[in-house]
C-alpha cells in the first residue's frame, strides 16, 4: 500500500533494503552498504545494529507518515459557474430579471457539463496533439492533419452550446454578446485550445456580418453561426507571412490573380495559420494587375474568403509545409502553408483589406482578453482550493497571512480584469444593436487594444505567481498546471504584441483628435465625489484612481519610452474604475466584490 501511494518516492528516493524488505531513504541505504564493505567484523556487527536502529526509526517514521498529511491533496474545482461568485454577482446586478432567469439556468447546466464532461476532453486534447502526415505509404502527397477525437468533439460542443451563434442570434438584444462572452469565458480554460478557432470563427462571422452578409457568403455565415454540429464551420485567419506579422502592410507577399469567372487564385506562403484544420479562412493578398504588378503597402492589400478543402476533403491548391513546434497551444495545429493557386473570393473593396479585417481583429482581441481572464481564474480557483488542503508549518496554507496576501493580490487582478472584460462586451453588445452612444463607441475603441495588451501580460504574471503557490507541485507536468502557463504565454504575442497595440491606441487618440482620451477621462471623473475622505476601502481605490488620472492628464503625447507605461495606467484606471462602479452598484467593498 505504501509503495502504491508514493510511487515517485519509491523509485527516486528510496531503495529496498535486502535485510528487512522495507523501503528506506536513499541516504540510509548507501550508509548501510558502505559500512558493510569497508569495516571489520566487530564494526560490521556495530553497523548492523546501527542499521537495524535506523530501520526501526524509519519504520516509526513511515508509520507516522501514514497518519500525517504527507501526501499532496489534489486541488479540485466544481461547477465553474456556481463557484464564480463575482460572475454571478455581476450578472445579477446588470442583466434584466427575465434575461437573468434564462441565462442563469443555462449557465448552471453548462457549468455542470464543463465540470463533468468537457474538462476531461480538454486533457485528452493536450495528451493527443495533432499529427501531420505529408505522404501516404505509397509516396502520394496527402498533407493530412490528424486531430484527436476529443478535439473534434470540442467542435461539436461549441456548436451545440451556441458559443458563436449566441452573439449573432441576438435573442437577448444588447445582452447577447455579453452572454456569449460569459459562456466563452467559462469554456475557455476547459476547451483544450479550442477557444482559438472559436475566436477566429467569431471574427470571420463579424466581418461577413459587417459586409452585409453578401449572397455568396450567406452559406459561410450560416455555418459559422449555426448550432447544428454537422453544419458548423470554423474559420482561420491567415495574415502573418515570413516578412512580418505586425507589419502586414509591408510583410504580405501573397499575390491574387483574377480568373475569367471573377474568382481569384492566391499564390504565396502563410507563415502562421492556427487551427489549420478549419473549414474556411479569411486572408490578405495583393491583387496583381494585367502586367502582374501589385501595389505595395497597406493600400495594396485586399481581403479574401477561401474554403480550405473541397467537399471530398481535398486541399484547395494548398500544401502544408509543416506544423509549428510550439511552446504551448500544442492541442491545436498551427501550420505553415503554401498557397499554390488556392481558389478565393474577394470580399473587400480592392485595397481595403486592412480596414475590412480590422473587425475580425477587434473580436479576436476580445477573445484574447477572455482567454487571459479565464486562465487567471482557473489558476486562482485551483490555488485557493490548494490553500485549503495543503499543510505547511503545522497549519493550512490558508492560515498563513503571507500566503493569503499573495493570493489576495492575484485575486484583485483577476477581478479587475474580469470586470474590464465585462465592460468591453457590454459596450460591444450596445454597439452591435445600435444602442451605443458616441461616447460608448469611442470608449470601446480605446478599451479593446488596451485590455488585450494589459491582460495578456497580466495573465502570464498571474499564472507564474499562481504556479508558485503550489510549490514544487506547480511545476509538475502531470498536474496540468504547466499547460495553463504555457498556453497563457502566447496571449501577449498573437493578435498584436504589446508594443503594436500600444501604437494602435496612440493611433486611435490621434485619429479621434484626443476625443477618445477625453471620453475616457470623463468616465473616470463620473466617480461620485461625496465619498472622498472616507476610510472605506473603496476610497483607497478611488484615491489611487484619481491620482493616476491626474498623472495621465499631464501626459500629452506619450513618447515611445513612456508609452507602454501610460497605457498600462489607462488599464489600471479602467480596472480600478470598473471595480469601483461595481462596488457602488452592489454596495460591496472592493475586497468583497
Ligand atoms: C502560437 C501562435 C499562433 C499564431 N497563429 C496565427 C494565425 O493563426 N494567423 C496569423 O496571421 N498569425 C498567427 N500568429 C502570428 C502572430 O500573430 C505574430 O507572430 C505576431 O503578430 C507578431 O508578428 P511577428 O512574429 O512577425 O513579429 P514581429 O512583427 O517581427 O515583431 C517582433 C518584435 O518587434 C516588436 N515590434 C515590431 N514592430 C514594432 C514597432 N513598430 N514598434 C515597436 N515594436 C515593434 C514587436 O512588438 C515584437 O516584440 C501566431 C503566432 C503564434 C506564436
Provide the pLDDT for residue 515. Answer: 86
Provide the pLDDT for residue 462. Answer: 96
Q: Is the CB of 329 under 6 A from ligand 1?
A: yes
Q: Is the CB of 244 under 6 A from ligand 1?
A: yes
Q: Which of 272, 282, 304, 327 to mutate to test the pocket of ligand 1 (most atoms within 8 A of CB)?
A: 272
User: Is the distance from CB of 424 to CB of 444 less than 8 angstroms?
Assistant: yes
For the chain, how far is it from start to end, CA to CA, in angstroms? 46
**C-alpha–C-alpha distance, residues 23 and 31, integer Å:** 14
**C-alpha–C-alpha distance, residues 383 and 243, integer Å:** 41
Grid cell 491626474 is found at 550
pLDDT in tens, 223-266: 999 999 999 999 999 999 999 899 999 999 999 999 999 999 99
Q: What is the dihedral of CA 558, 559, 563, 569, to 10 degrees?
A: -30
Query: Does position 555 have pLDDT exceeding 50, yes or no?
Result: no
Q: Residue 354 — very low, low, confident or very high, per pLDDT cuts 50/70/90?
A: very high
Q: Residue 418, SS3?
A: helix
Q: Can you point out the beta strands (E) in 451-503?
A: none
User: Mean pLDDT in the chain?
Assistant: 84
Query: Does position 9 have pLDDT exceeding 50, yes or no?
Result: no
Q: Which of 246, 330, 353, 354 to mutate to test the pocket of ligand 1 (most atoms within 8 A of CB)?
A: 246
Give the residue, by CA position, lying nearest to ligand 1 atom 37.
246
DSSP states along 375-416? HHHHHHHHHHHHHHH-EETTEEGGG-HHHHHHHHHHHHHHHH
Q: Is the CB of 448 under 6 A from ligand 1?
A: no
261 burial level (CB within 10 Å; 0-12, 13-18, 19+): exposed
Give the residue, by CA position, lying nearest to ligand 1 atom 25.
245
**C-alpha–C-alpha distance, residues 277 and 335, integer Å:** 9
Q: Which atom of ligand 1 is closest in space to residue 274's alpha carbon?
A: 8
Q: Residue 161 — very low, low, confident or very high, per pLDDT cuts 50/70/90?
A: very high
Mean pLDDT score, 266-293: 96
Provide the pLDDT for residue 321. Answer: 96
* Phi then psi dihedrals of residue 77, to 5 deg: -130, 160
**C-alpha–C-alpha distance, residues 573 and 112, integer Å:** 35
Q: Which atom of ligand 1 is closest in space to residue 493's alpha carbon?
A: 20
Distances (CA, A) of 152 to 186, 513, 584: 19, 47, 44
Query: Which alpha helices (DSSP H) does 189-217 contain, by range?
Result: 195-210
Q: Is the CB of 336 under 6 A from ligand 1?
A: no
DSSP states along 225-253? T-S-TTT---EEEE--BTTBSS-HHHH--
Q: Is the CB of 493 under 6 A from ligand 1?
A: yes
What are the cell numbers at 456?
495578456
Q: Residue 66 — very low, low, confident or very high, per pLDDT cuts 50/70/90?
A: low
Query: Does position 581 have pLDDT exceeding 60, yes or no?
Result: no
**C-alpha–C-alpha distance, residues 163 and 183, integer Å:** 7
112 burial level (CB within 10 Å; 0-12, 13-18, 19+): middle
Percent of the chain topping pLDDT 90: 70
**C-alpha–C-alpha distance, residues 118 and 185, integer Å:** 14
Mean pLDDT score, 2-6: 32
Q: Strand 235-238 vs strand 280-287: parallel, antiparallel, or unpaired?
A: parallel
Q: Is the CB of 470 under 6 A from ligand 1?
A: no
**C-alpha–C-alpha distance, residues 151 and 124, integer Å:** 8
**C-alpha–C-alpha distance, residues 225 and 393, integer Å:** 54
Distance 497 CA to ligand 1 centre (A): 6
User: Is the distance from CB of 456 to CB of 492 less than 8 angstroms?
Assistant: yes
Q: Is the CB of 250 under 6 A from ligand 1?
A: no
Contacts for 164 with CB less than 8 Å, ≥ 6 apart:
158, 180, 198, 201, 202, 205, 224, 225
Query: Does position 31 have pLDDT exceeding 70, yes or no?
Result: no
Q: Is the CB of 274 under 6 A from ligand 1?
A: yes
Radius of gyration of the chain (CA): 28
Query: Does position 566 have pLDDT exceeding 80, yes or no?
Result: no
Q: Is the CB of 506 under 6 A from ligand 1?
A: no
**C-alpha–C-alpha distance, residues 193 and 333, integer Å:** 10
312 burial level (CB within 10 Å; 0-12, 13-18, 19+): exposed
Amino acid at each position: 500500500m505504501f509503495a502504491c501511494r508514493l510511487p515517485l518516492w519509491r523509485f527516486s528516493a528510496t531503495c529496498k533494503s535486502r535485510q528487512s524488505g522495507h523501503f528506506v531513504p536513499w541516504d540510509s541505504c548507501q550508509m548501510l552498504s558502505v559500512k558493510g564493505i569497508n569495516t571489520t567484523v566487530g564494526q560490521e556487527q556495530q553497523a548492523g545494529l546501527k542499521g537495524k536502529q535506523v530501520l526501526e526509526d524509519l519504520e516509526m517514521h513511515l508509520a507516522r507518515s501514514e497518519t500525517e498529511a504527507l501526501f499532496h491533496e489534489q486541488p479540485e474545482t466544481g461547477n465553474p459557474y456556481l463557484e464564480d461568485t463575482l460572475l454571478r454577482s455581476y450578472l445579477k446586478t446588470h442583466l434584466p430579471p427575465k434575461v437573468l432567469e434564462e441565462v442563469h439556468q443555462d449557465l448552471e447546466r453548462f457549468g455542470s457539463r464543463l465540470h463533468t464532461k468537457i474538462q476531461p476532453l480538454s486533457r485528452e486534447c493536450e495528451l493527443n496533439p495533432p499529427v501531420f502526415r505529408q505522404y501516404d505509404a505509397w509516396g502520394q502527397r496527402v498533407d493530412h492533419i490528424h486531430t484527436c477525437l476529443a478535439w473534434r468533439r470540442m467542435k461539436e460542443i461549441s456548436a451545440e452550446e451556441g458559443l458563436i451563434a449566441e452573439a449573432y442570434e441576438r435573442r437577448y438584444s444588447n445582452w447577447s454578446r455579453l452572454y456569449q462572452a460569459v459562456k466563452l469565458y467559462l469554456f475557455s480554460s476547459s476547451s483544450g485550445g479550442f477557444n482559438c478557432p472559436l475566436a477566429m470563427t467569431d471574427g470571420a462571422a463579424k466581418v461577413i456580418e459587417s459586409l452585409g452578409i453578401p449572397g455568396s457568403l450567406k452559406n459561410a455565415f450560416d455555418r459559422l453561426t449555426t448550432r447544428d454540429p454537422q453544419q458548423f464551420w470554423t474559420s482561420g485567419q491567415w495574415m502573418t507571412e515570413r516578412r512580418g506579422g505586425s507589419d502586414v502592410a509591408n510583410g504580405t507577399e501573397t499575390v491574387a490573380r483574377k480568373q475569367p469567372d471573377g474568382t481569384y487564385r492566391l499564390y504565396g506562403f502563410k507563415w502562421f495559420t492556427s487551427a489549420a484544420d478549419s473549414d474556411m479562412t479569411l486572408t490578405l493578398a495583393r491583387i496583381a494587375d494585367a502586367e502582374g504588378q501589385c501595389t505595395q503597402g497597406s493600400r495594396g492589400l485586399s481581403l479574401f474568403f477561401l474554403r480550405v478543402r473541397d467537399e471530398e476533403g481535398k486541399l484547395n491548391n494548398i500544401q502544408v509545409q509543416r506544423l509549428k513546434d510550439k511552446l504551448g497551444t500544442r492541442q491545436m495545429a498551427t501550420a505553415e502553408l503554401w498557397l499554390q493557386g488556392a481558389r478565393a473570393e474577394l470580399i473587400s473593396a480592392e485595397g481595403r483589406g486592412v480596414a475590412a479585417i480590422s473587425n475580425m481583429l477587434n473580436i479576436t482581441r476580445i477573445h484574447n482578453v477572455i482567454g487571459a481572464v479565464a486562465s487567471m481564474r482557473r489558476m486562482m480557483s485551483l490555488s485557493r482550493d490548494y490553500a485549503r488542503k495543503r499543510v505547511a508549518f503545522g497549519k493550512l496554507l490558508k492560515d498563513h497571512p503571507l500566503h493569503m496576501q499573495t493570493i489576495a493580490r492575484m485575486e484583485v487582478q483577476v477581478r479587475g480584469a474580469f470586470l474590464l472584460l465585462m465592460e468591453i462586451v457590454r459596450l460591444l453588445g450596445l454597439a452591435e444593436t445600435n444602442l451605443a452612444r458616441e461616447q460608448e463607441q469611442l470608449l470601446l475603441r480605446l478599451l479593446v487594444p488596451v485590455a488585450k495588451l494589459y491582460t495578456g501580460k497580466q495573465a502570464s504574471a498571474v499564472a507564474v505567481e499562481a504556479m508558485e503557490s503550489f510549490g514544487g507541485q506547480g511545476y509538475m507536468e502531470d498536474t496540468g498546471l504547466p499547460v495553463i502557463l504555457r498556453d497563457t504565454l502566447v496571449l501577449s504575442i498573437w493578435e498584436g504584441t504589446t508594443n503594436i497595440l500600444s501604437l494602435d491606441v496612440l493611433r486611435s487618440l490621434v485619429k479621434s483628435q484626443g476625443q477618445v482620451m477625453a471620453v475616457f477621462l470623463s468616465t473616470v471623473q463620473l466617480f461620485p465625489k461625496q465619498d472622498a475622505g472616507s476610510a472605506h476601502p473603496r476610497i483607497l481605490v478611488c484615491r489611487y484612481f484619481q491620482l493616476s488620472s491626474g498623472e495621465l492628464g499631464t501626459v500629452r503625447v506619450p513618447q515611445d519610452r513612456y508609452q507602454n507605461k501610460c497605457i498600462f495606467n489607462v488599464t489600471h484606471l479602467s480596472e480600478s474604475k470598473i471595480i469601483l462602479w461595481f462596488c457602488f452598484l452592489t454596495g460591496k467593498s472592493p475586497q468583497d466584490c
